[in-house]
Amino acid sequence: MQVVETSSPECLLMSSDTSSSGSKMDPYQISDSDSCIGDDHEESMEDLPVDKEKKFLHLVEMGFLIDDASLALEKCGPDASITELMDFISATQIEKITTDAHLQESDYPILNENEPGPSHFPSAPHPDKKRKLFEAEEIWEKKIDSQRRRKKESTYKKVKKPELQEDEESVRLPKLLIGFGVPNMPRPVFNRKIPSQAISLPYFYFENVACAPKGAWDTISRFLWEIKPEFVDSMYFCAAARKRGYIHNLPIHNRFLLQPIPPLTIQEAFPLTKKWWPSWDKRTKLNCLTSSHGSAKVIKRIRLALENWDEEPPLRIQKYILFECRRWNYVWVGKNKVAPLEPEEIEMLMGYPKYHTRGGGTSLTDRIKALGNSFQVDTVAFHLSVLKNIFPNGISVLSLFSGIGGAEVALHRLGIPLKNVVSVEILKVNRNIIQSWWEQTNQKGNLIHIADVQQLCLDKLKGLMNSLGGFDLIIGGSPCNNLSGSNRVSRDGLHGEHSVLFFHYFRILNDVKILMRNG
């Protein structure tokens, strides 16, 4: 996970190596980037360091060469974002290869019209071209090697500084993120303990990124009555990875899946891509669907890089392209042409109705961001399915950090009537999306919107509970901006500016428990 987290061209080599060699550990051969690089509730890469020096250091820390980093800053200017700088460096590397390999006409000797020249033998490469191709590959190889060396050295330096290592370490996750069981995998052996104080109503369900900084899940568990997280990767439920931890007091027997079962591979989900999918792109699952999407520049660069080869491009080019495809979850949509997923395609992968996020009058960016932060509905519904028999006449839900209503959609799709939903979500666009969905699906219950969890004080809770008769389920995934591995600037842990809102989840849950206990 660390490899992809670095996002450097070096990880391009390593991650594609894993996939092409068919890693035994991962039956789906995806690069394991989602939980750490492109996590939900993440900050986009544009939020990285502000001043020039910091950007320079950041690039070098990521494994780029000093020369490349300073050239990128010089050419792109001090205001360029880290993503732009990284793209510039990748572009110069790839351009070096392609321009060297693809000889300009002027590179050929001027021919006497009567003499046979290269045009008489269109398929036989000019000896110069062959040589240059070889040289270009060597340049690339050397660059990657030296970056690898630098990376090793810097890792070594980090190991020598225990305080740094401690800060940067993430939670240790099990190899297979299958929680208390997922479809099509053997049931794991586990020992589930729910302390008696946590068994009382209401049911609760808390979610966050699996790959949080060390200690974050321990603290969350400590607050939530020492219940251990159930770590699950949504790749067992749909065609995209999403590694999440869930702490809940729900029963776990007789869970069932939402129907219809969604497509489980990229090729099943997007059959039209098959025609264009190159044999050397072995992806069958997408990485975590994140809140950022790629740039037109990268897409153009991929096309140009491929146009130089009639057949398979050399390994170096493949690796570069696979790196970008994994990083941005690109799919093949034409000859030499990749594209990012459309919002409707992401909606489908995440288990939402088509156009779900269009309901709020939202921009493309809002939609992608909201979807990048949302629950994967099939996964969450699997866990919530046990509530169907418990609440046949409907359920009252307090939905904290509702986003685009992943919890509400999951309960509805399970056929559990939504008696009352109090939805707490700060963004108006998201509240609009939930409101539109509520109307679209002809809900019969009550939907109450509240903007900020911080406004939901004890008195307000009392008032709501008196009028609604208590809550059956308190559900939510607090912001993970400061937990996600993709955030290299303010990954401040649970006490970070946004992630600290977890403590409101606990406060509200605890208040509701006390109020319900006292009748």
C-beta closer to ligand SAH: residue 59 or 377: 377
Choosing from 63, 202, 351, 479, the residue that interacts with ligand SAH (CB under 6 A) is 479
C-beta closer to ligand SAH: residue 313 or 406: 406
Least distance from C-beta 119 to ligand SAH, angstroms? Answer: 59
Residue 482 binding ligand SAH, by CB under 6 A: no
Residue 360 binding ligand SAH, by CB under 6 A: no
Choosing from 206, 270, 401, 438, the residue that interacts with ligand SAH (CB under 6 A) is 401
473-476 and 203-209 as β-strands: parallel, antiparallel, unpaired?
Answer: parallel
Residue 321 binding ligand SAH, by CB under 6 A: no
Phi and psi for 440 in degrees, rounded to 5?
Answer: -60, -35
Provide the residue type at 358 as one letter. Answer: R
Residue 374 binding ligand SAH, by CB under 6 A: yes
Q: Count interface residues toward ligand SAH (CB under 6 A).
A: 20
Identify the bridge partners of residue 449 per DSSP, sorted by sequence position.
Answer: 423
- Answer whether 395's CB lies under 8 Å from 472's CB: yes
Residue 241 binding ligand SAH, by CB under 6 A: no
Choosing from 38, 343, 477, 496, the residue that interacts with ligand SAH (CB under 6 A) is 477
Contact pattern for ligand SAH over residues 282 through 311, marking x by CB under 6 A:
------------------------------
C-beta closer to ligand SAH: residue 203 or 320: 203
Residue 483 binding ligand SAH, by CB under 6 A: no
Least distance from C-beta 502 to ligand SAH, angstroms? Answer: 11
Instruction: Write out the E strands in 405-462.
Output: 418-424, 446-450
Least distance from C-beta 434 to ligand SAH, angstroms? Answer: 9
C-beta closer to ligand SAH: residue 74 or 452: 452
Residue 160: CB partners within 8 Å, gap ≥ 6? none
What is the CA angle 512-517-519, rounded to 5?
A: 95
Cα–Cα distance measured from residue 486 to residue 396, given in angstroms and rounded to the nearest whole number: 35
Residue 376 binding ligand SAH, by CB under 6 A: no
Choosing from 8, 373, 396, 420, the residue that interacts with ligand SAH (CB under 6 A) is 373
Choosing from 202, 245, 406, 485, the residue that interacts with ligand SAH (CB under 6 A) is 406
Residue 404 binding ligand SAH, by CB under 6 A: yes
Cα–Cα distance measured from residue 374 to residue 40, given in angstroms and rounded to the nearest whole number: 7
User: Sign of the C-alpha dihedral, residues 150, 151, 155, 161?
Assistant: positive
Provide the residue type at 503 as one letter. Answer: F
Identify the bridge partners of residue 418 per DSSP, sorted by sequence position.
Answer: 395
Choosing from 375, 382, 437, 471, the residue that interacts with ligand SAH (CB under 6 A) is 375
C-beta closer to ligand SAH: residue 39 or 345: 39
Identify the bridge partners of residue 448 per DSSP, sorted by sequence position.
Answer: 422
C-beta closer to ligand SAH: residue 7 or 373: 373
**Structural tokens at position 370:** 């909201």
Cα–Cα distance measured from residue 233 to residue 34, given in angstroms and rounded to the nearest whole number: 10
Cα–Cα distance measured from residue 507 to residue 455, given in angstroms and rounded to the nearest whole number: 12
Exposure letters 251-287 (e unless 16+ CB within 10 A, then b)? eeeebeebeeebebebeebbeebeeebeeebebbbbb
Stretch that binds ligand SAH, among 124-132, 224-232, 372-380, 437-445 (CB under 6 A): 372-380
C-beta closer to ligand SAH: residue 80 or 500: 500
User: Sign of the C-alpha dihedral, residues 290, 68, 101, 319?
Assistant: negative
Residue 359 binding ligand SAH, by CB under 6 A: no
Residue 501 binding ligand SAH, by CB under 6 A: yes
Residues between 411 and 470 with contacts to ligand SAH, criterion CB under 6 A: 424-427, 430, 452-454
Cα–Cα distance measured from residue 397 to residue 203, given in angstroms and rounded to the nearest whole number: 10
Q: What are 107-111's contacts with CB under 8 Å, separation 24+?
A: 107/132
Residue 387 binding ligand SAH, by CB under 6 A: no
C-beta closer to ligand SAH: residue 34 or 425: 425
Identify the bridge partners of residue 399 per DSSP, sorted by sequence position.
Answer: 423, 475
**DSSP secondary structure code for residue 213 in this structure:** B
Residue 41 binding ligand SAH, by CB under 6 A: yes
Least distance from C-beta 335 to ligand SAH, angstroms? Answer: 36
Residue 91 binding ligand SAH, by CB under 6 A: no
Stretch that binds ligand SAH, among 115-123, 164-172, 229-237, 402-410 (CB under 6 A): 402-410
Residue 487 binding ligand SAH, by CB under 6 A: no
Cα–Cα distance measured from residue 28 to residue 22, given in angstroms and rounded to the nearest whole number: 9
Least distance from C-beta 267 to ligand SAH, angstroms? Answer: 27
Residue 62: CB partners within 8 Å, gap ≥ 6? 6, 7, 8, 86
- Answer whether 480's CB lies under 8 Å from 39's CB: yes
Residue 395 binding ligand SAH, by CB under 6 A: no
Under the rule (CB under 6 A), what is the footprint of ligand SAH? 41, 373-375, 401-404, 406, 424-427, 430, 452-454, 477, 479, 501
